[in-house]
Structure 1
Amino acid sequence: MSTVAPRTAGPDRLWSVDEHLDDILATVRPLEPIELHLLDAQGCVLVEDVTVPVSLPPFDNSSMDGYAVRVADVAGASERYPAALEVVGDVAAGAAGLLHVGPGQAARIMTGAPLPPGAETVVPVEWTDGGLGEGPATGMRARSLAPEGATGQVNVYRPAEARAHVRAEGSDVRAGDRALAAGTVLGPPQISLLAAIGRGTVRVRPRPRVVVLSTGSELVQPDGELGPGQIYDSNSFALTAAARDAGAIAYRVGAVADDAATLRDTIEDQLVRADLMVTTGGVSVGAYDVVKEALSYAGDEDEPGSGVEFRRLAMQPGKPQGFGSIGPDHTPLLALPGNPVSSYVSFELFVRPAIRTLMGLTDVHRPRTRAKLTADRALTSPGGRRQFLRGRYADGTVTPVGGAGSHLVAALAQANALIVVPEEAESVAPGAEVEVVLLG
């Protein structure tokens, strides 16, 4: 893997949140469409409209177990004066070569079975004696049909209107209708519809493959033993889960020690399965900021246009950020800070929109709303920085959760929103209206 030096605006420039996001979205492109089998397409985005080839239902069918009859034959039927009809046979789901229902006749019919010729309506079995010749059951009618194949007579105790308990051909969708529009994310209901209209494959943009790795010699995997100065690696778990929540196929790589050569080798090994690389940690100005050391270097001339640029953003938390492309396929890479809250907020602002863009979605951002701030005291914010505070949103109000520290993971776990304090505001009073990013 090699890169070339990216364009730079000077080390002292302070980028805005919007500038950095615009740069990312201008670089990331939707993945190329592929044809996938239905279950493999779950979570993917359709790239073309799907037209219904056959109506649903494809034929008139019964919505009840009962008897298919003519309307005139059951008109005026009652418990005292039931309509006695000749049972001419059974119609089961999937039946072919249907029998004909003539005057004074009935066909025993099962749910989903096609309405036989001559029949105009269906009377539920509860409105009959079930063809058992036992008269009406106590309360409503008999709860089961006579044995399959039995013929003879059935007593009907209630009239039925034309087309009662009949699912009409095309009452769901008709042939030629648009079943699903391009841009639809395929979930279980959409896959059900595609299967119902006979589509076994669809053309979609695949779910992007996102590789997440954290850096730091101090990191220990959960369930491991902590040594002096060590902490558990939470960022890679949080970001992998967040990438999956955004719609990606995410791969978590164990923490990489603070060694630039090892990090470069690890990233190079992972490129084969990555549409997007995400790193966390090592992007600040410390002596061991390994990501900057590993990726801020010039490559060969075979890969023009690639490289990672490290920036300072006018935001809190998440000031240090990196973005660029690496490897022969110019795989996008976003380098996030290592503090847990900084890392997660940066993911929501920058990585999630990149993932959604790779998927081919047009609306790539979390929903935003306005809410009334409920707090014991005014919120303070550094001038010239856009601050994102954790909050709990409900019923048009939002309450801060925890402090502003970028290490407060427990507070993050209680939040369902980010409170946005704009660059020009250094304080926000209780009761003021604020912008809120809803985290879902």
Structure 2
Amino acid sequence: MTATADAEAAENGLTPLADYLGSVLRRLRALPPLDLDLTQAYGNVLAEDVVAPHSFPAFDQAAVDGYAARWEDISGGGRGVGYVPAQSSRPGGRTVRLNVVGDLGAASWRPVRLTPGSCFSVAAGAPLPIGADVVVPVEWTDQGMAAVEIFRVPKRGYGVRRTGEEVAAGALLARSGTYVSPALVAVLAATGIGHVVVRPSPRVVIVATGDELVDVGRASQPGQVVDANSHALTAAAAEVGALAYRVGICDDDPEGLRGLLEDQTLRADLIITTGGTGTGPGDMVRRILSRREGSRAGPVTFTDVALYPGTALGFGTVGAEEVPVVCLPGDPGAAMIGFEVLARPAINLLAGAEPVFRPSVRAHLLETVSSPAGLREFRPAHVAERRGGGYTVQPLNGGPFTLSGLAEANGLLVLGERVTAAAAGSTVDVLLLDRRR
């Protein structure tokens, strides 16, 4: 954001978005680490570096089904037999014949040794006989049981996995801050790790406020508005990796709201409310949470931010435990954008994840768009990769229709405070949204 944009936002009585986010995120700290069983660690972020206690593979083993042999026995004493097609091996073709002295499976554990001119039938994963330096694949042989005829000679070391070939004991497997993926779980388990120290997934409670709200399953009518926010934000928090709990609807009752939030501080690392962040007569959340009661620290501060859609955001702490609370607007589209801008980075920070913001790309704008002056707009968009490199972005419904646009968006077009119009063909910033399909 430029100094000019900051000045324009200040003239409008609005706080620049970058300044606001910085002030909020500086007040948050990652949750204390936990030692978790490996099966429970998926989706969390490592709180310390992880070093391999053992090698992987832990012993020399066969990588394919076949016959473990000495390469000098099948290569003709170093002269090289080369490739001989199976069909020509009957008369006249040159092949190698070895005695099969035993079978080894993945569960074999007794050490055995090869003698010249012999081999072992082995399964993938079986320990290699002492002296073996090659495994001939089954399909390159006649699959003999007492003796085997080899039609094709592989290179020395083919089909063999040596101890520590993939991971050596003492190697750094992952640094602190690394996301625990299924593949990382496999590596950790394979090297003998059963527990890891991680940042726990934040417990996030979502509360929708307003006398007008009714639950889903019916149509809105005058005086009643279906609660879309608590359902959508619970899903959004879960998408980030939080343990999300939907409390449901809370009426605009001061004592009821205070009591509900006090109760939720016992099981929450973050509380998200929607509705009541404005200055109208029915905006009870702002009126109640912005008050300082007695000497209690940590009131919620409501700020008019240079953000579109939705400008009024709240942040602070509630309860004796001083649990962080994020207050989002009641309009569903504005609530979803507010979640992306403020709540999502807060959840990532609590989880110890980096970076806390979504990845972004520069994209070629396909359609001219207008934007309100002095506000940073986040507009739903569809991003596509261009043949030959780069991206294109097609704007979707925004402004009062942001909610419908978000349903089909895979990105958010970002238009700065000084932008009142962006022409087709210009290059713009786009945040990339997660999409499972």
Is the aligned partner of 1:346 residue 2:346?
no
Is the aligned partner of 1:113 residue 2:126?
yes
Is the aligned partner of 1:335 residue 2:323?
no
Q: SS at the partner of 2:201?
A: coil
Size of the aligned set, in residue pairs, is 406
Q: Tell me the distance in 1 between the aligned counterparts of 2:235 and 2:195.
A: 28
Q: Tell me the distance in 2 between the aligned counterparts of 1:388 and 1:159.
A: 62
Alpha-carbon shift at residue 346 of structure 1 (Å): 0.8
Alpha-carbon shift at residue 228 of structure 1 (Å): 4.7
- Under a length normalisation based on structure 1, what TM-score does the superposition of the two structures give? 0.87
* 1:32-431 mapped onto 2 (5 Å cutoff): 32-75=32-75, 76=81, 78=84, 79=89, 80-131=93-144, 146=145, 152-224=146-218, 228-301=222-295, 303-304=296-297, 306-375=298-367, 378-395=368-385, 396-405=391-400, 407-431=401-425
Alpha-carbon shift at residue 223 of structure 1 (Å): 2.5
Q: Tell me the distance in 2 between the aligned counterparts of 1:369 and 1:240.
A: 27
| Segments ≥4 residues shifted beyond 6 Å | none
Letter of the 1:410 counterpart: S
- Under a length normalisation based on structure 2, what TM-score does the superposition of the two structures give? 0.88
Alpha-carbon shift at residue 413 of structure 1 (Å): 0.7
Q: Tell me the distance in 2 between the aligned counterparts of 1:401 and 1:412.
A: 8
Q: What corresponds to 2:14 in structure 1?
A: 14
Deviations 1:352-401 (A, max 9, x none): 111111111331111222222222xx433332222222222223222211
Q: SS at the partner of 2:377?
A: strand
Deviations 1:47-74 (A, max 9, x none): 2111112111112111111111122322
Deviations 1:382-433 (A, max 9, x none): 322222222222232222111421x542222112222222222222222222
Instruction: Report 1 or 2 for greater relative contact order, CA contacts < 8 Å, sequence distance ≥ 6.
Output: 1
Deviations 1:287-333 (A, max 9, x none): 211212331222233x43x1101121122111111111111121110
The structure-2 alpha-carbon separation of the partners of 1:381 and 1:153, relative to structure 1 and needing over 3 Å to count, comes to closer
Alpha-carbon shift at residue 253 of structure 1 (Å): 1.2
Deviations 1:182-227 (A, max 9, x none): 1101010111111111111011111111111111232222224656
Q: What corresponds to 1:23 in structure 2?
A: 23
Letter of the 1:43 counterpart: G
The alignment's C-alpha RMSD in Å is 2.0
Alpha-carbon shift at residue 107 of structure 1 (Å): 1.1
Q: SS at the partner of 1:300?
A: coil
Deviations 1:125-183 (A, max 9, x none): 2122222xxxxxxxxxxxxxx5xxxxx32222222332111112222111121111111
Q: SS at the partner of 2:26?
A: helix
Letter of the 2:163 counterpart: E
Gaps of 5+ in 1: 1-11, 132-145, 147-151
Contact 1:261 1:294 survives alignment (8 Å): no
The structure-2 alpha-carbon separation of the partners of 1:430 and 1:82, relative to structure 1 and needing over 3 Å to count, comes to closer
